[in-house]
C-alpha cells in the first residue's frame, strides 16, 4: 500500500475515534512527504482547533485559503475558530464569505448560531431557514431554530421544530427535553414529565444521572415492603418543591430512604416525618430500587388535577413559639424576599430590588421582616433611612432555612420573588404572594393568578416584560384589601 495513503487512512481513523494526538502525528508524517496536501492541512487545522491550539489552527487555515481561495469549507472552519475566540467580526466575515461562495450549509448554521448568541434573533432564524432548506434533515438547525422561537415566546413554532427533530431522530434527547418545558408550561403534565425524563441524556442539562447499581423504579412495579432510595437533584427550591412526592411513595407501603442536599438535611429532618433521611455523600443503607425525586411526577402519572397541594412541611410547635416574642400582634407581620441566585442561566429576570417595597412599607399597620440571605443583602444598608425593615440577626446560622421556616410559620404573609423562599412558604401552607416575570419558568404555568402546587399562594405576574412597578402596585392594592 502507498505510504501516504496508509498514513492518511490511519490518521483519519484516529480522528474519527477522537484520538486527536495520534491523528496529529499521522497527519504530520503525511506532510513531511507531501507538504502541500490541502486536505491534510485542513484536517490538521481542525485537530489543532480541537486541541485548543487556536493560533496554530488559524495559521493552517490561512495557508489552506491561500492554496484554495474559493473553498467554502475552509472559510467556514476558520470562522468557527474566530467564533470560539469571540472575534465576532472576523467570524462573521468568514461565514459570509463561505455562504457567498456556494451557500455553505455549515456556515449558514454556524452563522445563525453567532447571530443567536448576539441576540439578533430574527436574522438568526432567517439563516437557520436557509440551512434547513439546503439540508432538510438538519436536526441541529431545527433544534436551534426551535430554541430561538422559544426565546421569542413563540411556543407553538418552537414545538413544531422540536417535533420535526424527533420525527427525524426519535431518540434526540435535546429535542425531547426542550419540548418538555413547553408541554409542562401548557399544563400538559403527563407528556411534559414523560419528555422531562430525557434530561439525563440531554447535553443541555447540567446534572448527571447517579449510578447506584440498582434498578430505577419504573412506576409500575409494586413497591410494598420494598426499600427505595429517593434522591434529590438540581436546586434547593426544586428539592423543596418536589419533596412532597415522597409521601405518595410512603403511602404505597415502601420503606423509603431520602437523600437530599446537605444544606437541606436539617430542614427536612425538622419538618417531615421521613424516618430515613440522609445527606448527599453519606453512606446509605441497602435498598432495592432507586428513583430521582423529580422523576416521581412522571412515575406517579401526576396531571394538573392530581398535584398534591396541601402543606407538606410542618415546624415543631415548640420551635414556632420561640419566635413569637419578636412579633407585635398589633401589626400584620410580613416576610419579604427579593433576590434569588446570581447565575443568569437560572435567575435571569426573576429578581427585583428591595427598593420596590418602599411604598408597601408605608402602609399603616404592617411590619416588614427580611428573609433575604446572601445575595441581595447588600441592598439593605442603603435603605435603612428610607423605610423600616426588620432584620433578625443570626437567622439560619445553625442550618439553612430552619429558622426561616419557623419564622415564616409565625408571619401573616410572605411576599417573594421566584426563589426557594416561595417553595418554603408554600410548602408550609403560609399565605404567599409570589411576584414573577412575564415569561416565568414552566412550573408557574401561564396566565394563572393561583398555583396548583400551593393552595395558599397568589401569583402576581408582569404584564410587560421587566416592569416590576405595576406588579407591586397591583400587589399593594391586594395587600390593603387583605388586611382591611
| Boundary (domain end) residue, out of 201, 227, 254 | 201
CB–CB of 14/22 below 8 Å? yes
Distance CA(379)–CA(373), nearest Å, equals 11
308 inside domain: no
Which of 309, 186, 156, 161 is CA-nearest to residue 241? 309
Give me the number of domains the chain comprises: 3
- Give dist(CA 159, CA 169) in Å, integer: 15
The pTM score is: 0.91
Helix H or strand E encompassing 65: helix 54-67
Do residues 359 and 420 share a domain?
A: yes
CA 18 to chain centre: 29
305 lies in some domain: no
For residues 235 and 325, state if they share a domain. no
* 288 and 414 share one domain: no
Q: What does the pLDDT read at residue 190?
A: 98
Residue 410, pLDDT score: 95
Same domain, 124 and 56: yes
The C-alpha cell that represents 372 in the structure block: 433575604
Domain-embedded: residue 257: yes
DSSP bridge partners of 370: 336
Last residue of a domain, one of 153, 174, 201: 201
Integer Cα distance of 74 and 77 in angstroms:
5
Q: In what order do the strands lie in the sheet with 413-416?
A: 389-390, 366-370, 332-337, 413-416, 432-436, 454-461, 450-451
CATH code of the domain in which 93 resides: 1.25.40.10
**pLDDT < 50 regions, the chain:** 1
Q: How far is CA 449 from CA 196, 237, 326, 481, in A?
A: 25, 20, 32, 16
Q: What integer pLDDT is reported at residue 344 of this predicted model?
A: 60
Residues 335, 474: one domain? yes
C-alpha cell at 398: 445553625
The CA distance from 223 to 288, in Å, is 9
- DSSP-assigned beta bridge partners for residue 366: 332
Residues in the chain, overall count? 484
Tell me which residue of 356, 357, 345, 397 sits closest to 374, measured CA to CA. Answer: 397
pLDDT digits (tens, 9 = 90+) for 33-44: 888 889 888 999
Residue 206: inside a domain: no
Q: Are residues 180 and 36 in the same domain?
A: yes
Residue 249 lies in a domain: yes
**In this structure, what CATH number is given to the domain that contains residue 339?**
3.40.50.2000
Pair (156, 266) in one structural domain? no
Which of 173, 201, 229 delimits the end of a domain? 201
- C-beta neighbour count of 336 within 10 angstroms: 24
Q: Is residue 207 part of a domain?
A: no
Q: Helices 139-151 & 173-185, crossing angle to 10 degrees?
A: 20
User: Domain for residue 210, yes or no?
Assistant: no
Domain holding 326, by residue range, is 317-482
Q: Which three cell numbers stand for residue 233?
A: 437533584
Residue 367 CA: distances (Å) to CA of 107, 136, 332: 59, 61, 6
138 and 109 in contact (C-beta within 8 Å)? yes
Model pLDDT, residue 28? 87
Q: Note whether 236 and 323 are same-domain residues.
A: no
- Same-domain check for residues 167 and 289: no
* 405 and 450 fall within a common domain: yes
Could you tell me the three cell numbers for 212? 447506584
> Do 47 and 107 belong to one domain?
yes
Distances (CA, A) of 143 to 17, 86, 117, 137, 173: 25, 23, 15, 11, 11
Amino acid at each position: 500500500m502507498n505510504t501516504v495513503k496508509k498514513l492518511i487512512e490511519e490518521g483519519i481513523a484516529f480522528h474519527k475515534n477522537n484520538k486527536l494526538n495520534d491523528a496529529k502525528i499521522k497527519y504530520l508524517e503525511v506532510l513531511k512527504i507531501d507538504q502541500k496536501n490541502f486536505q491534510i492541512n485542513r484536517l490538521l487545522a481542525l485537530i489543532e482547533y480541537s486541541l485548543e491550539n487556536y493560533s496554530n489552527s488559524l495559521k493552517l487555515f490561512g495557508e489552506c485559503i491561500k492554496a484554495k481561495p474559493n473553498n467554502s469549507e475552509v472559510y467556514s472552519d476558520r470562522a468557527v475558530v474566530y467564533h470560539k475566540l469571540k472575534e465576532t467580526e472576523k467570524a462573521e466575515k468568514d461565514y459570509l464569505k463561505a455562504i457567498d461562495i456556494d451557500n455553505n450549509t455549515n456556515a449558514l448554521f454556524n452563522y445563525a448560531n453567532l447571530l443567536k448568541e448576539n441576540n439578533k434573533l430574527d436574522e438568526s432564524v432567517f439563516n437557520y431557514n436557509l440551512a434547513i432548506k439546503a439540508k432538510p434533515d438538519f436536526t441541529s438547525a431545527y433544534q436551534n431554530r426551535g430554541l430561538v422561537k422559544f426565546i421569542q415566546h413563540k411556543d407553538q413554532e418552537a414545538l413544531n421544530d422540536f417535533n420535526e427533530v424527533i420525527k427525524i431522530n426519535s431518540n434526540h434527547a435535546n429535542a425531547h427535553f426542550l419540548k418538555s418545558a413547553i408541554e409542562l408550561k401548557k399544563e400538559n403534565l403527563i407528556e411534559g414529565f414523560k419528555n422531562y425524563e430525557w434530561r439525563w441524556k440531554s447535553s443541555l442539562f447540567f446534572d448527571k444521572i447517579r449510578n447506584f447499581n440498582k434498578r430505577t423504579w419504573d412506576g409500575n412495579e409494586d413497591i410494598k415492603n420494598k426499600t427505595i432510595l429517593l434522591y434529590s437533584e438540581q436546586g434547593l427550591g426544586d428539592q423543596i418543591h418536589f419533596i412532597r412526592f415522597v409521601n405518595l411513595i410512603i403511602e404505597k407501603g415502601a420503606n423509603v430512604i431520602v437523600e437530599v442536599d446537605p444544606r437541606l438535611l436539617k430542614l427536612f429532618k425538622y419538618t417531615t416525618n421521613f424516618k430515613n433521611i440522609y445527606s448527599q455523600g453519606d453512606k446509605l443503607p441497602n435498598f432495592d430500587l432507586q428513583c430521582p425525586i423529580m422523576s416521581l411526577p412522571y412515575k406517579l402519572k401526576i396531571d394538573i388535577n392530581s398535584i398534591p397541594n396541601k402543606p407538606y412541611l410542618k415546624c415543631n410547635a415548640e420551635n414556632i413559639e420561640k419566635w413569637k416574642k419578636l412579633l407585635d400582634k398589633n401589626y400584620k407581620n410580613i416576610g419579604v424576599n427579593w433576590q434569588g441566585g446570581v447565575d443568569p442561566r437560572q435567575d435571569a429576570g426573576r429578581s427585583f430590588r428591595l427598593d420596590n417595597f418602599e411604598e408597601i412599607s408605608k402602609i399603616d399597620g404592617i411590619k416588614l421582616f427580611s428573609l433575604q440571605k446572601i445575595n441581595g443583602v447588600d441592598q439593605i444598608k442603603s435603605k435603612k433611612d428610607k423605610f423600616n425593615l426588620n432584620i433578625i440577626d443570626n437567622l439560619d446560622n445553625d442550618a439553612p432555612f430552619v429558622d426561616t421556616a419557623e419564622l415564616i410559620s409565625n408571619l401573616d404573609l410572605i411576599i417573594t420573588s421566584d426563589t426557594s423562599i416561595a417553595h418554603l412558604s408554600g410548602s408550609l401552607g403560609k399565605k404567599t404572594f409570589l411576584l414573577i416575570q412575564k415569561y416565568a419558568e414552566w412550573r408557574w404555568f401561564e396566565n394563572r393568578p393561583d398555583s396548583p402546587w400551593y393552595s395558599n399562594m397568589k401569583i402576581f405576574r408582569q404584564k410587560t416584560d421587566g416592569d416590576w412597578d405595576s406588579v407591586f402596585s397591583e400587589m399593594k392594592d391586594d395587600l390593603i384589601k387583605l388586611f382591611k
